[in-house]
C-alpha cells in the first residue's frame, strides 16, 4: 500500500526541520517522568488514562466521564486563571475538537477548511511551541455534502500513533513523534453523501469509526480498523439484514418487539433501509471488564416519517457489541419510527450506581429525545427514563415495553405545520458531551432548550444530495432562553441545579477533583462553575463563540485548562457561513432560532490554554518554562452584559423530576 506522505500530498511538516532545540525537546518529552505529565510512551490506553496528568482520548477515559483527578485549580483560586499561551489552527470554521495531551505533547486537529483542511498540530503542552504539523490531501467535494458545518471532534492516540478521521472519509495513522503518515484507509464515498466528523476511539488495537450523512440518505455504520495495518477488521451497519448489522445467536434484546430475524429490513418499506440513515457520528464507550463497546445510532431518513412506515430498526438505537468481532450483544431503540430527527449518537457514561439497594453496572444516556436513560450495561435492561428538559411530543416512556408514549396530536401530517414541537430536531441535547464527578456524584449536562414548527413534505432520493422532507423553524423554549448547563443526579433522578444561557450550550464539559466544572457559550464566554452549587466562579471572554471540548492536564506540576474557540456547528453556521439569518428555515431550521448570534460572535480558530499565576501555585512550579509572559487575563467576577436570562453568580436549583 502506498503512503501519501509526499510534498504535494498528505504531508508532515516539521516545525523546525534542522533545529537542535526541537530534537532535544523531543528527547526530553520521552525522558520526563509521569509526575510531570510526560509518562512512558507505548503504554496501553487504560494505564495512560489513569495518569491524571494526561488527556489521552477525547472523552478522557473509556467510561466517558471527562473527570480529572487534578485539583491544583479549585473553587478557591479558579478566579485567578489567566492565559498561559494561545495558538491558531488557521481554519475559521466550527471548532468542536478535544485536544489530546500525551507525554507532554498536545495534539489538536482543525476543521475541514482553510489552506490545509483537517490539519493536525503537535504542540509543546507547556509552551505552545509547534513541534510538527500534518496536512491531509483534501477532496474539497466533501464540503458540499457535509450536513452541518465541516467540524472535526478530535483525534485518538495509541502506542505511539495518532489517528485522524478526515471529512472526505479517510482514516489516517501518524507517528506521534514526527507526524509522518504510517497508513491511510478510505472508509466511505462522498458521492453518496458520506463524511466523517467523529473522534475515533481505539480499543484493543482497533480504531473505531462511524460515518456522518444522515440527512443525505446515507446508510450508517461503525467500522473497526486495525491500528497497525489500516485494514478493515469488521463493519456493523445500522440497517439491513442481520448479517450486515452483525446480529447473531448471542444477541439478546430485552423487549420482544426487538426480537426476530432481519428486523433491519422488515421494519422498513422495501429497500428503504439501504438509504435509511442510522449514521454514527458521536461517541463510543468501552467496558474492559465486560469487553463491550457501546454507542448510539442516528436518525432514520428521510425526516418525512410518512415515507418510511415501521419502527425503522436499528436507527436511534443504543448498541452493545463485542469489540473483537463487532457482534451485537444487546440493543435498545429509544425512538421507534422517529418523527423529529432524534439521533441518539449522544454520549453515554458508564457508571456503577446503587439501584434498588444493589450496586449496578449501568450505562447512562443523555437522550436527544429529552429523556435521560439508565440501563443495565451487562444486559440492556431498561432501569429508568426521565425527562430533563421540556417535552410535549411524548408523555413518557412505557417501562413495560420500552417505547415512548407519543402525543398523537403532535404527529406530523403531510403538508401541515405542527407548531411548538419540543424538543427541536437537534434535540434537548446533541453531540456535546457531558461529564461526571465521583466526588459530587452529579452529571454535568450542556444542552439546548428550544422548540420548533415542523412541516412535512415529500422528497425524492438523489445520491449525495439532501434527503430531508421537512421544513423547520426553531425558536427559544418556554422561559425565553435557548440553552442550559445543568447538574443531574442520576441516583435520585432529578436536576440538582441549572444555569440558563442565551444560546444553546453547544460546548462539551469537563469536571475536576478541584470541584470545578468548565464549559463554554456561543456568545464567547468560557466559564468555571462550582461543581456542587453551580455558582459561576470565573469567566473569560474568548475571541469567538465556543463549541469545543475543554480538557485539563498537568506538565511539570502545573495544571492547565485548554479550549478551542471558534463558533460553528449546526446552530453556529449562521455566524461563520454565508447563511442569511432572515431566512428562518435556513441551516435546517437553525437560522431562525439563531438570528441574533452574528451580533455576538463571528468565526474563529484560536486554541486558548489557561493556568494559575505562579503566586497561586505551590512554590517551585512554573507555568511557562520557556519564560514567555502570559498573553491575557480575565478579572475574577467578570460580569456578562445584556444577559437577563442568567444570574452570573448563582445557579437555579432543580426541583426534582
Question: What is the C-alpha separation between 144 and 126, in angstroms, rounded?
Answer: 38
81 in the same domain as 126: no
User: Residue 488: which CATH number?
Assistant: 2.140.10.10
- Phi then psi for residue 319, to 5 deg, are -110, 150
What is the grid cell recorded at 223? 467500522
271 has catalytic annotation: no
Where helices occur in 8-60 by DSSP H, the ranges are 20-31, 45-50
Q: In what order do the strands lie in the sheet with 358-366?
A: 348-355, 358-366, 371-376, 382-387
Sorted by sequence, the CB contacts under 8 Å of residue 609 that are 6+ apart come out as 83, 84, 85, 86, 87, 128, 560, 561, 562
Residue 104: inside a domain: yes
Residue 222 pLDDT: 98
- What is the number of domains present in the chain? 2
Q: Out of 144, 164, 195, pick the residue that ends a domain.
A: 195
| Residues facing residue 98 across a β-bridge | 154
Residue 326: inside a domain: no
Q: Out of 195, 220, 240, pick the residue that ends a domain.
A: 195
Residue 119: inside a domain: yes
172 in the same domain as 80: no
Which residues does the chain have with pLDDT short of 50?
A: 1-42, 620, 622-650, 652-657
- What range defines the domain where residue 476 resides? 76-90+431-657
Is the distance from CB of 108 to CB of 101 less than 8 angstroms? Answer: no
Residue 508: inside a domain: yes
587 in the same domain as 542: yes
184 in the same domain as 85: no
Q: Catalytic residue, from 299, 304, 346, 576: name it.
A: 299
461 in the same domain as 489: yes
42 in the same domain as 82: no
629 in the same domain as 543: yes
Half-sphere CA count of 110, side-chain side, radius 13 A: 26
591 in the same domain as 503: yes
Q: Where are the beta strands (DSSP E) in 154-274?
A: 156-158, 161-165, 170-175, 181-186, 201-203, 206-210, 221-226, 232-237
Residue 253: inside a domain: no
Q: Catalytic residue, from 51, 61, 215, 227: name it.
A: 215
299 has catalytic annotation: yes
Q: Is 279 exposed, middle or buried (0-12, 13-18, 19+ CB in 10 A)?
A: buried
Residue 137 pLDDT: 84
Q: What is the dihedral of CA 33, 37, 41, 43, to 10 degrees?
A: 110
Residue 143 pLDDT: 72
215 has catalytic annotation: yes
Q: pLDDT exceeding 90 applies to what percent of the chain?
A: 80
CA distances to 503, 540, 602 from 524, in Å = 11, 8, 10
Is the distance from CB of 428 to CB of 369 less than 8 angstroms? Answer: yes
Residue 394: inside a domain: no
User: Residue 39: which CATH number?
Assistant: 2.40.10.480
Residue 164: inside a domain: yes
Q: Out of 149, 171, 195, pick the residue that ends a domain.
A: 195
148 in the same domain as 170: yes
What confidence tens digit (pLDDT) does each residue in 142-153 have? 776 667 778 899
Q: Catalytic residue, from 149, 158, 341, 484: name it.
A: 341
Residue 607 pLDDT: 98
Question: What is the C-alpha separation between 567 and 576, in angstroms, rounded?
Answer: 7
80 in the same domain as 14: no
182 in the same domain as 80: no
Residue 257: inside a domain: no
585 in the same domain as 553: yes
Residue 589 pLDDT: 81
Question: What is the C-alpha separation between 431 and 449, in angstroms, rounded?
Answer: 15
Amino acid at each position: 500500500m502506498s503512503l501519501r506522505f509526499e510534498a504535494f500530498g498528505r504531508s508532515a511538516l516539521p516545525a523546525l526541520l534542522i533545529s537542535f532545540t526541537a530534537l532535544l525537546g523531543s528527547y526530553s518529552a520521552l525522558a520526563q517522568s509521569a509526575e510531570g505529565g510526560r509518562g512512558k510512551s507505548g503504554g496501553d490506553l487504560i494505564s495512560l488514562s489513569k495518569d491524571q496528568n494526561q488527556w489521552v482520548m477525547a472523552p478522557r477515559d473509556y467510561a466517558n466521564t471527562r473527570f480529572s483527578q487534578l485539583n491544583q485549580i479549585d473553587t478557591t483560586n479558579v478566579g485567578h486563571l489567566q492565559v498561559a499561551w494561545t495558538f491558531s489552527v488557521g481554519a475559521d470554521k466550527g471548532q468542536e475538537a478535544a485536544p489530546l495531551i500525551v507525554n507532554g505533547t498536545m495534539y489538536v486537529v482543525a476543521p475541514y477548511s482553510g489552506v490545509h483542511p483537517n490539519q493536525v498540530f503537535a504542540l509543546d503542552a507547556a509552551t505552545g511551541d509547534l513541534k510538527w504539523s500534518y496536512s491531509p490531501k483534501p477532496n474539497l467535494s466533501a464540503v458540499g455534502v457535509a450536513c452541518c458545518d465541516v467540524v472535526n471532534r478530535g483525534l485518538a492516540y495509541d502506542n505511539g500513533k495518532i489517528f485522524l478521521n478526515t471529512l472526505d472519509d479517510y482514516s489516517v495513522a501518524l507517528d506521534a513523534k514526527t507526524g509522518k503518515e504510517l497508513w491511510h484507509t478510505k472508509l466511505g464515498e462522498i458521492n453518496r453523501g458520506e463524511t466523517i466528523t467523529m473522534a475515533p476511539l481505539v480499543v484493543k488495537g482497533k480504531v473505531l469509526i462511524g460515518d456522518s450523512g444522515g440527512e443525505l440518505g446515507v446508510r450508517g455504520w461503525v467500522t473497526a480498523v486495525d491500528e497497525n495495518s489500516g485494514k478493515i477488521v469488521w463493519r456493523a451497519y445500522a440497517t439491513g439484514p442481520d448479517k450486515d448489522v452483525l446480529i447473531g445467536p448471542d444477541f439478546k434484546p430485552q423487549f420482544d418487539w426487538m426480537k426476530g430475524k432481519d428486523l433491519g429490513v422488515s421494519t422498513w418499506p422495501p429497500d428503504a433501509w439501504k438509504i435509511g440513515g442510522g449514521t454514527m457520528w458521536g461517541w463510543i464507550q468501552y467496558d474492559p471488564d465486560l469487553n463491550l463497546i457501546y454507542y448510539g445510532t442516528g436518525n432514520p431518513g428521510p425526516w418525512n416519517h410518512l415515507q418510511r412506515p415501521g419502527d425503522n430498526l436499528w436507527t436511534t438505537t443504543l448498541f452493545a457489541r463485542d469489540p473483537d468481532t463487532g457482534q451485537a450483544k444487546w440493543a435498545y431503540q429509544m425512538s421507534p419510527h422517529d418523527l423529529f430527527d432524534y439521533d441518539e449518537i449522544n454520549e453515554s457514561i458508564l457508571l456503577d450506581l446503587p439501584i434498588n439497594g444493589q450496586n449496578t453496572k449501568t450505562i447512562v444516556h443523555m437522550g436527544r429525545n429529552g429523556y435521560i436513560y439508565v440501563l443495565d450495561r451487562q444486559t440492556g435492561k431498561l432501569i429508568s427514563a426521565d425527562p430533563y428538559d421540556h417535552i410535549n411530543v411524548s408523555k413518557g416512556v412505557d417501562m413495560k415495553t420500552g417505547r415512548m408514549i407519543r402525543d398523537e396530536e403532535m404527529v406530523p401530517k403531510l403538508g401541515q405545520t405542527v407548531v411548538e414541537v419540543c424538543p427541536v430536531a437537534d434535540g434537548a441535547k446533541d453531540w456535546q458531551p457531558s461529564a461526571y464527578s465521583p466526588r459530587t456524584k452529579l452529571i454535568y449536562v450542556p444542552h439546548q432548550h428550544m422548540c420548533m414548527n415542523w412541516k412535512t413534505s415529500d422528497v425524492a432520493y438523489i445520491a449525495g444530495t439532501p434527503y430531508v422532507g421537512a421544513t423547520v423553524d426553531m425558536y427559544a423554549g418556554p422561559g425565553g432562553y435557548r440553552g442550559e448547563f445543568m447538574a443531574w443526579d442520576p441516583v435520585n433522578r432529578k436536576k440538582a441545579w441549572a444555569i440558563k444561557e442565551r444560546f444553546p450550550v453547544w460546548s462539551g464539559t469537563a469536571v475536576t477533583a478541584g470541584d470545578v466544572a468548565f464549559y463554554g457559550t456561543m456568545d464567547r464566554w468560557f466559564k468555571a462553575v462550582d461543581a456542587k452549587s453551580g455558582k459561576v466562579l470565573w469567566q473569560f471572554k474568548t475571541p469567538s463563540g465556543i463549541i469545543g471540548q475543554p480538557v485539563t492536564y498537568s506538565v511539570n506540576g502545573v495544571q492547565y485548562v485548554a479550549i478551542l474557540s471558534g463558533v460553528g456547528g449546526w446552530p453556529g453556521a449562521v455566524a461563520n457561513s454565508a447563511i442569511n439569518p432572515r431566512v428562518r428555515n435556513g441551516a435546517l431550521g437553525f437560522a431562525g432560532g439563531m438570528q441574533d448570534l452574528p451580533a455576538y460572535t463571528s468565526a474563529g480558530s484560536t486554541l486558548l490554554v489557561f493556568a494559575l499565576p505562579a503566586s497561586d501555585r505551590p512554590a517551585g512550579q512554573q507555568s511557562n518554562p520557556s519564560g514567555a509572559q502570559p498573553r491575557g487575563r480575565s478579572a475574577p467576577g467578570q460580569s456578562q452584559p445584556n444577559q437577563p436570562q442568567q444570574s452570573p453568580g448563582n445557579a437555579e436549583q432543580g426541583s426534582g423530576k
